[in-house]
Amino acid sequence: MSTPSLESPWWNARRELAFREEHGGFSLILKRNCSISPAGLACVFAALAFAVLAIGIGFALAGAWLILPFAGLEVLLLGGAFVLQARHATDYERIELDRGRLRVEVADAERLARYELDADCVRIDMKGAHLMLCGPQQALELGRHLDEQARAAFAAELKKRLRI
């Protein structure tokens, strides 16, 4: 297994690109850094909702009843934000090269898209901050879960591996 590492200037951490070597090809999965499990996220939401509603009920009992609808609205909006975050927590991009075929699988929320390209006809372009994988009939964006520096390093490594 070859793992080129990337230095991240924002948080001084090393990030590994774990290219798994397989039968003359490779396999790589790029995914979001999900720092909390769905169960942990539910516990955090429950604790925050309980605290906000308890404070709202306390103010309502003290005579400031108008606080309670706003506390309920806050809990609803917070729940919506947590649902959006949870929907994208398992997003990933899987890139595989096997026998001259480049297969890309992109999971985004509940959609799963699969692409298969001839590795000899693929071109890799950096258009601004976007890494584009261009084939004869289609173009798709890769590295959406990487920062700009990691995306550039990934593009260089992918170019090198596709040309060998």
When pLDDT is averaged across residues 4-24 and rounded to a whole number, the result is 51
pLDDT of residue 11: 40
User: What is the distance between the alpha carbons of residues 15 and 149, in angstroms, rounded to a whole number?
Assistant: 11
pLDDT of residue 6: 45
Q: What is the pTM of this model?
A: 0.67
At residue 21 the predicted structure's pLDDT band, cuts being 50, 70 and 90, is low
**Between residues 3 and 57, the one the model is more confident about:** 57
User: What is the distance between the alpha carbons of residues 121 and 118, in angstroms, rounded to a whole number?
Assistant: 6
| Neighbour count for residue 19 (Cβ, 10 Å) | 20
At residue 12 the predicted structure's pLDDT band, cuts being 50, 70 and 90, is very low
Q: The domain 5-34+90-162 is classified under which CATH number: 1.10.3470, 1.20.1530, 2.40.10, 2.30.29? A: 2.30.29
| Neighbour count for residue 96 (Cβ, 10 Å) | 17
At residue 7 the predicted structure's pLDDT band, cuts being 50, 70 and 90, is very low
